[in-house]
Structure 1
Amino acid sequence: MSDKPLRQARELLLKEYRGVLSTHSKSMPGFPFGSVVPYCLDAQGNPLILISRIAQHTHNLQRDPKCSLLVGEREAEDVQAVGRLTVLAEARPLSDPQAVEAAAQRYYRFFPDSQNYHSAHDFDFWVLEPVRHRYIGGFGAIHWLDDVTLANPFAGKAEASMVEHMNADHAKAIAHYVELAGLPAKAAAQMAGVDSEGLHLRIGQALYWLAFEKPCNTPVQVREALVSLAHADRWPTIEQIEA
């Protein structure tokens, strides 16, 4: 099998930022319990969630950490004709202070309002460690996948520095990215994250992932990609990237 389904599955995880978390019901044994959760990816490329200690899904995970996260393409007219991914995983709460701080700094950039309720209420970070993935790319494109996740080489200080620099000094470039990608300009965009394959923009409460023309493995390569896009007349499409 080619690596195309792996890339498509990972891109779906990157593009979306909410999914249906299914856990084993504690109060109704034998029944699955579904709930909607926002997420971003952690340094290892695994889904990171912030959930309340009193929530039903948290009680379920404490009893049985086996779960799944269903992610589908947003605003799809025909949900059976577009990509969707089920991440079969084991959930693990973060307890190490350094790990919690690293998770918080990235999650806050994606979901700024979370900083208020995380600090004021009983919320904890959990990471969903994938066991296997089921990816459906449309009719007949069905795959069981392993090793979908990809670690972020910039996680931590490098990513935070790049994001802060772009937001502080290059608002015009970010606005140009929004225009190139045809994203809604209902509010000023902010960069939320960077990984080896693309960048995340936050516009209001919505998040968008935009792919680089080619993978970037160093901060210098990211800078070159961002400068190139700031002067581009169109965002490279998947067809252009694969050509």
Structure 2
Amino acid sequence: MDETSDNAAIGQSQGSGGRPGPARPLPAAQAPFDAIGLSRRLLRSIRSGALATLDADGTPFASLATIATDVDGTPLMLLSQLSGHTRNLIADPRCSLLFSAGGKGDPLAHPRLTVVGRAARTTEPRARERFLARHPKAKLYADFPDFGFFALSPEAGHLNGGFAKAATLARDELLLDLSQADGLVTGERGAIEHMNADHADALALYAAAAGGGQGEGWRLTGLDPEGMDLMAGDRTARVIYPDLVRDMGALRKVLVVMAAQARQAAETPRP
């Protein structure tokens, strides 16, 4: 099964002579599944992916990169200027990132997202904080003189959610609208420190409810208006709020409600 056969039931275009053309993915808003929600979950939960850049002669060059996201979902990378992909981006910022969930069985049965755009170096302190929260071991080399943080500004996305589930996404479908969310963005760091220091039990409940699995060691790595990102070792969990939140007061209320619901669900005997 390849990408073409995987998308065959998505949408049929009209070829020459009235014959059916190759299948094409539907826009996310028209897809018969939650393409936007799945794409954003992949963006937030995948910590490494294939980075495709262009060599000087135009040859596609694929490599592996570790990934985090900014508050709005913008992909972030920490790259060395000694690497071929970094030199390529400096010469030509056009690139794409593949976020693949992976799993058991057929690799093509699992969802994956390709984000296309342009990457440029960023010195935004929040990019550093968010990346290192997601990749704490990178603190060992993040300050080496040849390393720098890069942000990929998305222009489009292509989602393949598995067999016969594909969609295309626009920039505003991949990224979150941060208007009127200044309070949440400003208070993110303090909220993360507080939750990790004082509410490890609640984080474990959130992770379990989101399908991250049982166990301790979960810590909060990022907050945004739509949800929060958790990590325990190599495991990640994306927790979605029941409603969008744009300030710290609303965040506190929704976290209390979610913790109570998750605790009740954990304590309810299964039939």
Q: Does TM, scored on the shorter chain, surpass 0.5?
A: yes
In the TM superposition, what is the alpha-carbon distance from 1:165 to its structure 2 partner? 0.9
**1:20-63: CA deviation from partner (whole Å, max 9, x where unpaired):** 1001124xx34211111111111332101110111111011112
| Equivalent residue in structure 2 for 1:92, among 111, 115, 120 | 120
CA contact (8 A) 1:24 1:67 kept: yes
User: Is residue 104 of structure 1 aligned with residue 128 of structure 2?
Assistant: yes
SS in 1 for 2:228: strand
User: Scaled by the length of structure 1, what TM-score is found?
Assistant: 0.84
Q: Which residue of 2 aligns with 1:226?
A: 255
Which whole-Å CA distance do the structure 1 matches of 2:112 and 2:153 have between them? 18
In the TM superposition, what is the alpha-carbon distance from 1:155 to its structure 2 partner? 6.3
The verdict on how the C-alpha distance between 1:74 and 1:82 changes in structure 2, with shifts beyond 3 A counting, is closer
Which whole-Å CA distance do the structure 2 matches of 1:45 and 1:181 have between them? 19
Q: Which residue of 2 aligns with 1:125?
A: 149
Deviates more, 1:189-198 or 1:135-144: 135-144
User: Is residue 200 of structure 1 aligned with residue 229 of structure 2?
Assistant: yes
Which whole-Å CA distance do the structure 2 matches of 1:43 and 1:180 have between them? 22
Q: Which residue of 2 aligns with 1:66?
A: 94
Which whole-Å CA distance do the structure 1 matches of 2:61 and 2:128 have between them? 26
How many residues of Structure 1 are paired with residues of Structure 2 in the alignment? 229
Rg comparison, structure with higher value? 2
User: Residue 147 of structure 2 aligns to which amino acid in structure 1?
Assistant: F
Which whole-Å CA distance do the structure 2 matches of 1:185 and 1:121 have between them? 40
Q: What percentage of aligned pairs have identical amino acids?
A: 31
Q: How big is the alpha-carbon RMSD for the aligned residues of Structure 1 and Structure 2?
A: 2.3
User: Residue 110 of structure 2 aligns to which amino acid in structure 1?
Assistant: V
For 1:1-243, list aligned pairs within 5 A.
1-2=29-30, 4-26=34-56, 29-95=57-123, 99=124, 101-146=125-170, 147=172, 148-152=174-178, 153=181, 156-184=185-213, 188-232=217-261, 233-234=264-265
In the TM superposition, what is the alpha-carbon distance from 1:195 to its structure 2 partner? 1.4
**1:152-177: CA deviation from partner (whole Å, max 9, x where unpaired):** 53664311111111111112212322
The verdict on how the C-alpha distance between 1:103 and 1:131 changes in structure 2, with shifts beyond 3 A counting, is same
The verdict on how the C-alpha distance between 1:58 and 1:181 changes in structure 2, with shifts beyond 3 A counting, is same
CA contact (8 A) 2:53 2:60 kept: yes
In the TM superposition, what is the alpha-carbon distance from 1:13 to its structure 2 partner? 0.9
Which whole-Å CA distance do the structure 2 matches of 1:219 and 1:230 have between them? 16
Deviates more, 1:145-154 or 1:82-91: 145-154
User: Residue 251 of structure 2 aligns to which amino acid in structure 1?
Assistant: V
User: Residue 37 of structure 2 aligns to which amino acid in structure 1?
Assistant: R
CA contact (8 A) 1:23 1:68 kept: yes
Which whole-Å CA distance do the structure 1 matches of 2:38 and 2:235 have between them? 21
User: Scaled by the length of structure 2, what TM-score is found?
Assistant: 0.76
CA contact (8 A) 1:197 1:214 kept: yes
CA contact (8 A) 1:40 1:48 kept: yes
The verdict on how the C-alpha distance between 1:206 and 1:6 changes in structure 2, with shifts beyond 3 A counting, is same
Which whole-Å CA distance do the structure 1 matches of 2:254 and 2:211 have between them? 19
Which whole-Å CA distance do the structure 2 matches of 1:11 and 1:182 have between them? 12
